[in-house]
Amino acid sequence: MLLKQIQYFHAIVEKKSFTEAAEACFISQSAISQQMKALEHELGIQLLIRHNRTFTLTPAGEYFYKETLPIIKSLDHAIEKTRHIAHHEEAILNVGCLNSYGSIEFNQAVITFMKTYPKVKLHIMHGNHEELYNALRENRIDLALNDQRRMFSSEYENMILIDTTLSVLINKDIMQK
C-alpha cells in the first residue's frame, strides 16, 4: 500500500469526485481510478461504492478515511515545516490557548517570546477546551495552553506550568439572603 494511494483516496473523498481529485493531484482520472482499485485490492475490501458518475463510502471506507486523516495531516504538516527549514524561512509556532487567557501576563509573554525569537512566526488560536484538544489532535496547533480538564494522555507531552489552588470569594451579604 502506497502512501500516495491513501492521499488519492483522501482527495477523492474531499473533492467528492474522481475527476476533480485527479486534477488536484495532477494525474489522469483513469490513473487515480486504477490507484483506488489497487488500494482496495491490497486492503482486500471495498472503500467506495461506485455509481455512474458518483460514489458513496462504504462503512469501511468511512472508517479508513477517519483513521488515516491524522496521518495525512501530520505528513502535510511535516512537509510544510521541512520546506520552511530548507528555505531558511521563518519558523512557525501554532499555539492554542483558552478564550479566557487574554490576560496582560499572557500578552507580555507573547511579546517577550517574539523579541527573544524574532524569526519565529507565532500564530495564536483561541478556543474552548474541546476545540484546543481537537486542534492539537489534528496538528493544527503545536501546543495548547489549557487547564487540566482531562487525565493526561500519552498522546501528548504533558507539562504542568503552574500548580494553583482555586478559591471562590462570595460577598457575605449575598449569603445571608
Residue 177 pLDDT exceeds 70: no
**94 assigned to some structural domain:** yes
Domain that holds residue 140: 90-145
Shared domain for 97 and 70, answered yes or no, is no
pLDDT band at 63 (very low <50, low <70, confident <90, very high): very high
Of the listed ranges 45-49, 70-74, 79-83, 173-177, the least confidently predicted one is 173-177
- Of the candidates 114, 155, 109, 105, which has an alpha carbon nearest to the alpha carbon of residue 133? 155
Residue 81 resides in a domain: no
- Which grid cell sits at 122? 507565532
In a shared domain, residues 62 and 114: no
Residues 43 and 98 in one domain: no
The verdict on residue 162 lying in a domain is no
164, pLDDT greater than 80: no
* CATH number for 28: 1.10.10.10
Within a domain: 111 = yes
Instruction: Check pLDDT > 90 for residue 34.
Output: yes
- The CA distance from 118 to 141, in Å, is 19
Q: What is the CATH number of the domain that holds 102?
A: 3.40.190.10
pLDDT digits (tens, 9 = 90+) for 78-118: 888 788 778 776 778 888 888 777 677 778 888 888 888 88
Q: Work out the end-to-end distance of the chain between its first and last CA atoms, rounded to an integer number of angstroms.
A: 70
pLDDT at 56: 95
DSSP for 74-121?
HHHHHHHHHHHHHTTPPEEEEEEEETT---HHHHHHHHHHHHH-TTEE
Mind listing the pLDDT tens digit for each residue in 103-112? 777 788 888 8
pTM of the full structure: 0.55
